Structures are given as structure tokens and as C-alpha cells.
């Protein structure tokens, strides 16, 4: 495991500092200024659901983050299978409806949400992209439905006026940005250029990386936001080149396949300058680039190591999986929703939301739906600890504990884990 020396400083982030900052995702809307209402209350209201927990999966089948879709869908499906094998929720099988979230260049997500609401979804799991979630969060929460993302990392959601109905199992980029910035400094680069998508994910994460680099004694010599829909990135790369950085943080999605060749063309390949990816572009590029193109590049992805037993089970759901990114978070999101409905004895969105914080901390620990359900039926308070790590929600619906994985590319243009950094955002 690698050690990032300044990380103790990074992980001891005060809540006030974290919440004041503006992932996975794009979009330019600004968050509502008011803090979100508490995500849970001590007691559930009278049941308002129809008795059948209906889950909508709003996850990427197409678009910039389509590579994240397979493990996320598989995580949801595995959880639903296990929940239904254990007797379902409130004595009835859970219904799952799969839809495409697309990306911010389309209206697919909005159309998918309309379909899910028409089919009486009680909770919608997704989107992967923060920008996509921002386009539909009001539609979902105004309908009284839980909006639960396994992959949104934009800090803006922490204070978004979501009516207490938005939750996520992925940590805010306040943490990923600090881990990445510390990693760059630890690797010996004191002059850093940031090339990021011009959207809420890119600009929010870029800001956090910049803060971490500068607080660690480094300097951000260039910070360039680009249009992710651009056909050519030569001008953006030229700005970076002019600053003569020792390292480049590339905060991108699948446009990485166009940016990397341009960086190499202008003499900024990983053999010349240290390059770092993030969760939006740390992916398998073995079929995109010649061998050796990405050798030495490092990247960060929120999430703990997926246990072997979980990997085996999720591969049975989808044998074609190439990686497991956000699969554990999707699995945990599904289990948490189901357990909250059981705790509330109510499958409505508001009933589920009223119990999500409560079941995530303070009770008897359990790690799967069946064991947690048995405790609930015995009248006990539970503390669900998931595959993605300890899941303890703040009142805003954010994880207060998280792990960031650090990865490195080999000659095959595939990435392997080289360490994990875990900590609390208190």
C-alpha cells in the first residue's frame, strides 16, 4: 500500500469547510443556496406506499460514462436478487426497472425519469454523472421519490435543496480532490497543470485538487477548462504546454481518448510529464491506444476494494464485466433503500428517506439484507456496513466515511490498484 504523507491533514476535513465548497458528472446549474433538509427523522410517518417497492435504475447505457453502466446495473441486480430470495420487502418481491441515463448532451435521463415516475418508482438509483443527476433531481424529489446515486461526487449536492430525498454512497470530491492533490505532491511534482471538463464535475474536482496542491506546497501553474463536446483539444493542450508543468491532472470522461494523443503530439505524454486521471476516466483503454501509451499514469477512484466473494457473485450476474467500479456502491444503495422501507414499514419515497440515516449508523452492525432484516424483525436498531465500506450518512445524505483507491497503468493500458486511502469527513 502506498502512503501519502500529507493525507492525515487531508482527511481531517471539517464539515463546515467541506460543505462550503462547490464528479462524477457534468452540468452547469448552480445548487440551490439553502442547505438540504435533514435526510431522516427519528420516526416514520404513516405508510403512504402501495406495498410494493419499485426501484428505477437510471444508469448509463450510452454516453460519456457508459463504461460505468455494467458494474452499476449488476450491483443493483445482485442486490435485488438477494432481497427477493430473502422474501422481498414488506413481504413482496421488489420490482426493478432499468433505464438509460445517457449524458448531459442528450435528454435521455429526463425521458427515463418520466417513464419511471409513470411506473410508480419509489426510489431511483442513479445517475452516475453528477451533471445528469442535476438535470433530474428536482423532477424526482418534487415527486416525493428518493433520488439515490451510487456515483455522484460533486460537492454541490451536499447543500442542494433536495427536500431530504437525495442520498449517495459515493463520497464528495472534497475527498478525492485532496487525495489526488496529495498524491501529486508526494510523487515529487511541485508545479501542476489541471485540464478539466467545463461542467460541475470537472470544475468542482479541479478546485479541490488545486486546494490540495497549494496547501501541500505546490503551485498550480495552469488551470484550463475545456468544452467536452469539442472536436479538437489542441488549443487547450497548448495552454497547458506553455505553463511547463511537471504534472498534469486530467479530469475528463471518454474524451480522454482524444486528449491523450494531443498531449503526446505536443510533447506532454506520460513519458515526459506525470499524468493523473480521476474516476471519470480511469478505465480500460487496452482497445483504444497502442501498447505502452498510458504506462505510468496514475488515477483515483472512490471506493474500497471489492471482496473476492462479491466479485464472484456480481460476475454471475454479468459475466462480461471488465471492472467493478461503483458496483459495490450500487449494491449498497439498493440494500439501504430496501432496509429503510422495512424499517419504516413503508415503501414510499418519504417513508424510505425517513429511515436511511438511522439504519446507516448507531445500531447493531450487519452486512447483507437478510441478516439486517432479521435484526429489524427482532425489533433491533441496525447499522448497515456495506461492500463499499462503512456507510454512515450525514443528515445531508452524504457518506461521512470513505475510501479512495489509487491505481496505475501498465504497458497494456489497463490499470491496477497500488493502494487505498481511507478516512472520515466529519
CATH code of residue 290: 3.40.50.2300
**H/E run at residue 258:** helix 256-265
For the ranges 137-141, 197-201, 398-402, the maximum mean pLDDT occurs at: 137-141
Q: Give dist(CA 390, CA 192) in Å, integer.
A: 33
CA triple 136-106-396, angle to 5 deg:
25
pLDDT (0 to 100) of residue 175: 92
Q: Looking up cell 459475466, which residue turns up?
A: 319
Q: In this predicted model, what pLDDT tens digit does every residue of 269-279 receive, in sequence order?
A: 999 999 999 99
What mean pLDDT do residues 14-39 have? 37
What is the overall mean pLDDT for the chain?
90
Residue 182's contacts (CB-CB under 8 Å, 6 or more residues apart) are 4, 5, 6, 7, 10, 212, 216
Same domain, residue pair 159 and 296: no
Residue 173's pLDDT band (cuts 50, 70, 90): very high
Q: Is 32 exposed, middle or buried (0-12, 13-18, 19+ CB in 10 A)?
A: middle
> Is pLDDT at 43 greater than 80 in this prediction?
no
Give the cell for residue 284.
Answer: 480500460
pLDDT (0 to 100) of residue 332: 98
Q: Give dist(CA 191, CA 42) in Å, integer.
A: 49
Is residue 250 in some structural domain? yes
Residue 426's pLDDT band (cuts 50, 70, 90): low
Looking at the chain, the whole-number percentage of residues with pLDDT higher than 70 is 89
How far is CA 194 from its chain centroid? 21
Q: Give dist(CA 88, CA 84) in Å, integer.
A: 4
When comparing pLDDT for 76 and 322, which is higher? 76
Same domain, residue pair 166 and 187: no
Q: In this predicted model, what pLDDT tens digit does every residue of 176-215 receive, in sequence order?
A: 999 999 999 999 999 999 999 999 899 999 999 999 999 9
Residue 16's contacts (CB-CB under 8 Å, 6 or more residues apart) are none
Give the cell for residue 188.
Answer: 515529487
Is residue 5 in some structural domain? no
> Is pLDDT at 40 greater than 60 in this prediction?
no
Residue 5's pLDDT band (cuts 50, 70, 90): very low
Same domain, residue pair 56 and 99: yes
**H/E run at residue 338:** helix 327-344
pLDDT (0 to 100) of residue 10: 36
DSSP assignment letter at 304? P
Question: What residues make up the domain containing 280?
Answer: 174-302+403-424
> Is pLDDT at 24 greater than 70 in this prediction?
no
pLDDT (0 to 100) of residue 389: 87
pLDDT (0 to 100) of residue 423: 73
> Is pLDDT at 14 greater than 60 in this prediction?
no
Same domain, residue pair 261 and 142: no
Q: Looking up cell 498550480, which residue turns up?
A: 220
> Is pLDDT at 328 greater than 80 in this prediction?
yes
Same domain, residue pair 315 and 375: yes
When comparing pLDDT for 418 and 12, which is higher? 418
pLDDT (0 to 100) of residue 424: 75
Q: Give dist(CA 395, CA 164) in Å, integer.
A: 8
Looking at the chain, the whole-number percentage of residues with pLDDT higher than 90 is 85
Q: How many domains does the chain have?
A: 2
Q: Looking up cell 486528449, which residue turns up?
A: 259
Same domain, residue pair 167 and 315: yes
Is residue 22 in some structural domain? no
> Is pLDDT at 35 greater than 80 in this prediction?
no
Amino acid at each position: 500500500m502506498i502512503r501519502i504523507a500529507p493525507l492525515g491533514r487531508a482527511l481531517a476535513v471539517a464539515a463546515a469547510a467541506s460543505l462550503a465548497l462547490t464528479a462524477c458528472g457534468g452540468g452547469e446549474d448552480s445548487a440551490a443556496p439553502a442547505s438540504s433538509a435533514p435526510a431522516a427523522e427519528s420516526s416514520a410517518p404513516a405508510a403512504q406506499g402501495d406495498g410494493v417497492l419499485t426501484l428505477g435504475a437510471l444508469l448509463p447505457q450510452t454516453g460519456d460514462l457508459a463504461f460505468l453502466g455494467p458494474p452499476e446495473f449488476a450491483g443493483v441486480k445482485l442486490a435485488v436478487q438477494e432481497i427477493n430470495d430473502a422474501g422481498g420487502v414488506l413481504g413482496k418481491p421488489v420490482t426493478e426497472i432499468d433505464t438509460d441515463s445517457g449524458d448531459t448532451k442528450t435528454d435521455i435521463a429526463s425521458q427515463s425519469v418520466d417513464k419511471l415516475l409513470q411506473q410508480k418508482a419509489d426510489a431511483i438509483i442513479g445517475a452516475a454523472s453528477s451533471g445528469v443527476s442535476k438535470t433530474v433531481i428536482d423532477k424526482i424529489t418534487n415527486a416525493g421519490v428518493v433520488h439515490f446515486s451510487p456515483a455522484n461526487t460533486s460537492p454541490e449536492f451536499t447543500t442542494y435543496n433536495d427536500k431530504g430525498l437525495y442520498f449517495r454512497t459515493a463520497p464528495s470530491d472534497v475527498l478525492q480532490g485532496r487525495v489526488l492533490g496529495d498524491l501529486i505532491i508526494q510523487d515529487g511534482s511541485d508545479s501542476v497543470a489541471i485540464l478539466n471538463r467545463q461542467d460541475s464535475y470537472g470544475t468542482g474536482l479541479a478546485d479541490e485538487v488545486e486546494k490540495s496542491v497549494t496547501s501541500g506546497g505546490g503551485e498550480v501553474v495552469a488551470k484550463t477548462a475545456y468544452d467536452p463536446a469539442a472536436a479538437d483539444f489542441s488549443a487547450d493542450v497548448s495552454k497547458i504546454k506553455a505553463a511547463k508543468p511537471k504534472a498534469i491532472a486530467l479530469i475528463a470522461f471518454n474524451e480522454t481518448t482524444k486528449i491523450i494523443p494531443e498531449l503526446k503530439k505536443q510533447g506532454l505524454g506520460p513519458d515526459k510529464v506525470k499524468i493523473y486521471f480521476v474516476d471519470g476516466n480511469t478505465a480500460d483503454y487496452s482497445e483504444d491506444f497502442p501498447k505502452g501509451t498510458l504506462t505510468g499514469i496514475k488515477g483515483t477512484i472512490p471506493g474500497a476494494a471489492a471482496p473476492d466473494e462479491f466479485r464472484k457473485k456480481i460476475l454471475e450476474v454479468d459475466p462480461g464485466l471488465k471492472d467493478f467500479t461503483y458496483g459495490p456502491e450500487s449494491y449498497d444503495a439498493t440494500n439501504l433503500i430496501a432496509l429503510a422501507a422495512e424499517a419504516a414499514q413503508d415503501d414510499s419515497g418519504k417513508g424510505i428517506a425517513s429511515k436511511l440515516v438511522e439504519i446507516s449508523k448507531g445500531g447493531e452492525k450487519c452486512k447483507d439484507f437478510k441478516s439486517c432484516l432479521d435484526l429489524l424483525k427482532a425489533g433491533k436498531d441496525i447499522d448497515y456496513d456495506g461492500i463499499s465500506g462503512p456507510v454512515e450518512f450525514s443528515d445531508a445524505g452524504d457518506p461521512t466515511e470513505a475510501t479512495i483507491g489509487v491505481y496505475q497503468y501498465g504497458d497494456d493500458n489497463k490499470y491496477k490498484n497500488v493502494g487505498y486511502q481511507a478516512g472520515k469527513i466529519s
